[in-house]
Amino acid sequence: MKTPQLLSQLQTAHEARISGFTPELPDDFRVRLQELGFREGTFVRCLRKTPLGGPHVFEINGAVFSLESSVAQKVLLHV
């Protein structure tokens, strides 16, 4: 079985569909991400990755968000 890709692994200028969240993501973070549009089945595009584990910039539903790498590591993508 193939390991799911994490949002933090998405390459710049690439797009993928969100498949869910890891169990380690606290419920309050999951709810907030879903309020922002990070929902299962939604497409997300990586716009920019900062060096040394800094925040990543993503576009989802026409809006742009910056997520810490530690949070992006808990969002699962369809591969």
Both tokens of 59, joined, read 């576009």
- 1: pLDDT strictly greater than 70: no
* Per-residue model confidence (pLDDT) at position 32: 97
* Per-residue model confidence (pLDDT) at position 33: 97
The Cα-based distances of 34 to 9, 13, 52, 65 in angstroms read 20, 22, 27, 13
Give mean pLDDT, residues 60-71.
Answer: 96
Domains and their CATH numbers in the chain: 5-77 (2.30.30.90)
In one-letter notation, the amino acid at residue 66 is S
What pLDDT digit, counting tens, does each position of 3-50 carry?
A: 679 999 999 999 999 999 999 999 999 999 999 999 999 999 999 998
- 2: pLDDT strictly greater than 80: no
Both tokens of 48, joined, read 């920019």
The reported pTM is 0.91
The Cα-based distances of 73 to 2, 44 in angstroms read 17, 14
Both tokens of 58, joined, read 């993503």
